[in-house]
Amino acid sequence: MKSDVELDQLMNLQAINEVAHKLGLDEDKLELYGPYKAKLDLDLLEGKQDGKLILMTSINPTPAGEGKTTMNIGLSMALNKIGVNAISALREPSLGPCFGMKGGATGGGYAQVHPMVDINMHFTGDFHAITSAHNLLAAMVDNHIFHGNELSIDPSRVQWNRVMDMNDRALRRIDLKNRTSKFDITVASEIMAILCLAENMSDLKARLGNILVAYTTDGKEVLASDLQAVGAMSVLLKDALRPNLVQTSEGGPALIHGGPFANIAHGCNSVIATKMGLNLADYVVTEAGFGADLGAEKFFDIKCRSANLQPDAVVLVATIKALKYHGGAKLKDLDKEDFDSLYRGLEHLQKHLYNLGMYGVPVVIALNRFQSDTDKEEAVLETFAKENHVRISFADVFTKGGDGSLDLAKQVVEVANEKSTFRLLYQDTNDLKKTIETIAHNIYGAKGVEFSKEALEELSNIKNQNLPVCIAKTQYSLSDDASLRNVPQDFDIHVKSCYLSQGAGFVVVLLGKVMTMPGLPKKPNAVGMDVLDDGTVIGLK
């Protein structure tokens, strides 16, 4: 089978205005970025927003891959095939992982969003705008200190770092004239979170103005509004606030907008794109990054809480290979039939089902098929689903596109029309320490939570103790230790530090060794990329 980028280049793409017509949109609602990409007008938010909202999540990721984005796209194509007006609502890829180890984020095989190269590279410039707005604020902070420091900013208590959309470990610490600082990756920027949680331009400005950038020498907060930075940042972000329309491999519509990581940020596409999708389609299939312990928890407890969204169903993606890996099988043996590892790995699947059950939204397991899967292994999953009273569908969208998930589409429609009793994991009245412990005990299964002295001091300094928390931890384990697969037992969570994202409206809590500026692997994907004389891009994964 050809590579994803080769399949993308063989696609006979429809003009984006034709894709828009399927949503009932005229060209005056589009701002074209070439023939296959467009920005949508924000007035398309007006309406009842009465579509069904479907969340795509997964078990904890493994080196074998789970295919959550591929399944998202495949499901939206299948829904359209069975006569349901559906749209994918996805995040934008970051350049860092594209050139690093993870690769792009546009699906795979015959379930992709297109044009793949454009989306994975600069796209419509949203990430550049976010990076520029973030670094403008950083520059204005240091400039204010240089020119007399009228606000009496304490240089040692500046909270606002710089960002760039690339993995670069050398920038994890930088020495400035008056202090030390660092770069984070753009997807960890508070401005990324703000853009993805903002409801409109007015809300965006209010959130930008509320960004905590520093403290004064007598301990008072200095906000972005105090530096009169909000107007200029809004100018940089005015186009980035508008969702991007592209198409699936079968010409269906997809909204791609915003891109916070789920291991170090809140991991969901924008509220604006999601709500616009609910206005334009009967079903919106969105996703939350990495496993349900990170992405789904933050989707529910941060995004749905903030935007008052009511999800109708959850699709939990798993693979037999990944379950065997969580059950202890070695990576080289995942193609072999191994019932011992598979049965042990089902404990991991069951934990995620239990976690999702706490939110009261009906779940369908989507078993992403691989060629090495056997009938006997699939029978084990069927029995597991019956015993746990949960729906399961075996799908192959990678090689079959929408046709590979028709059964999944029908099951999703059935469960989405059941009564959802959606509820949040914790209440707004919780204090921060209690909220962290609630997530650690209920979602991760931790025995205890250990707070560093630094973390306790940082938590005590946050005035609003009732904010949601955005926990940054490894995506590879339910714990904060990446080496602990399956369902770890008798472990503690270690809270290293915390900081307030006041504009976004949550507190970021860092666990273990998680870093907000990744590094490139020994042989990054960038090594195999090139562009031929005719403009054809090769090596993009």
Query: Quick one: tokens of 7?
Result: 């399949």
Residue 100, pLDDT score: 84
Query: Quick one: tokens of 75?
Result: 């499901």
Provide the CA 447 distance to its chain's centre, in angstroms. 27
CA dist 168 and 152 (Å) reads 32
Residues 385, 274 share a domain: yes
Residue 330 lies in a domain: yes
User: Is the pLDDT higher at 65 or at 379?
Assistant: 379
Each residue's pLDDT tens digit, 252-262: 999 999 999 88
For the chain, the 3-state helix, strand and coil shares in percent, each to the nearest 5, are: 40, 20, 40
Q: Which of 91-105, 131-145, 397-411, 470-484 has the lowest mean pLDDT?
A: 91-105
Judged against a pLDDT cut of 80, whether residue 101 lies above it is answered with no
Local structure of 65: helix, strand or coil: coil
Residue 398 confidence class, pLDDT cut points 50, 70, 90: very high
Residue 227 lies in a domain: yes
CA dist 234 and 291 (Å) reads 33
Mean pLDDT of 441-453: 97
CA dist 444 and 424 (Å) reads 16
Judged against a pLDDT cut of 80, whether residue 103 lies above it is answered with no
Q: Which of 91-105, 316-330, 344-358 has the lowest mean pLDDT?
A: 91-105
Q: HSE-up of 209 (CA within 13 Å, CB side)? A: 10
Residue 472, pLDDT score: 96
What sign results for the dihedral spanned by CA atoms 166, 167, 170, 176? positive
CATH code, domain carrying 219? 3.30.1510.10
Burial of 289 (0-12, 13-18, 19+ CB in 10 A): buried
Query: Quick one: tokens of 479?
Result: 């714990």
Judged against a pLDDT cut of 90, whether residue 430 lies above it is answered with no
Residues 374, 315 share a domain: yes
User: Is the pLDDT higher at 402 or at 97?
Assistant: 402
User: Is the pLDDT higher at 325 or at 64?
Assistant: 325
Residues 279, 226 share a domain: no
Domain boundary among 221, 237, 253: 237
Mean pLDDT of 292-315: 97
Judged against a pLDDT cut of 80, whether residue 244 lies above it is answered with yes
Report whether the peptide linkage leading into residue 115 is cis, meaning its omega lies within 30 degrees of zero.
Answer: yes
Residue 540, pLDDT score: 86
Residue 538, pLDDT score: 86
Beta-carbon contacts of 186 under 8 Å, excluding residues fewer than 6 positions away, are: 94, 127, 130, 131, 134, 163, 164, 165, 192
Residues 262, 115 share a domain: yes
| Amino acid found at 459 | L
Mean pLDDT of 379-405: 97
| SS (HEC) of 327-390 | CCCCHHHCCCCCHHHHHHHHHHHHHHHHHHHCCCCCEEEEEECCCCCCHHHHHHHHHHHHHCCC
Residue 522 lies in a domain: no
Residues 478, 329 share a domain: no
User: Kind and range of the H or E element at 435?
Assistant: helix 432-439
Whether 51 and 79 have beta carbons less than 8 Å apart is answered as no
Tell me the pLDDT of the chain averaged across its residues: 95
Judged against a pLDDT cut of 90, whether residue 529 lies above it is answered with no
Residues 385, 262 share a domain: yes
Whether 471 and 509 have beta carbons less than 8 Å apart is answered as yes
Whether 488 and 445 have beta carbons less than 8 Å apart is answered as yes
Whether 390 and 363 have beta carbons less than 8 Å apart is answered as yes
Judged against a pLDDT cut of 90, whether residue 105 lies above it is answered with no
In Å, how far are 86, 132, 352 from 413, measured between CA atoms?
A: 11, 42, 22
Query: Quick one: tokens of 488?
Result: 């770890």
Residues 115, 162 share a domain: no
Residues 316, 464 share a domain: no
Residue 519 lies in a domain: no
pTM (two decimals): 0.95
Domain boundary among 237, 253, 278: 237
Residues 182, 227 share a domain: yes
CB atoms within 10 A of CB 253: 26
Residue 391 confidence class, pLDDT cut points 50, 70, 90: very high
Across 110-179, the runs of DSSP E, i.e. the strands, are: 111-114, 153-158, 162-164, 174-175
Whether 506 and 302 have beta carbons less than 8 Å apart is answered as yes
Each residue's pLDDT tens digit, 125-148: 999 999 999 999 999 999 999 999
CA dist 474 and 472 (Å) reads 7
In Å, how far are 180, 283, 538 from 156, measured between CA atoms?
A: 8, 49, 46
Each residue's pLDDT tens digit, 227-238: 999 999 999 999
Q: Which domain holds residue 499?
A: 432-511
CA dist 321 and 338 (Å) reads 10
Judged against a pLDDT cut of 90, whether residue 47 lies above it is answered with no
Whether 495 and 455 have beta carbons less than 8 Å apart is answered as yes
Q: What is the DSSP letter of 269?
A: -
Mean pLDDT of 175-191: 93
CA dist 147 and 163 (Å) reads 23
Residue 540 lies in a domain: no
How many structural domains does the chain have? Answer: 3
Residue 5, pLDDT score: 87
Judged against a pLDDT cut of 90, whether residue 77 lies above it is answered with yes
Name the pairing type of β-strands 313-318 and 391-395.
unpaired
Residue 207 lies in a domain: yes
CA dist 58 and 75 (Å) reads 14
Residues 213, 267 share a domain: no
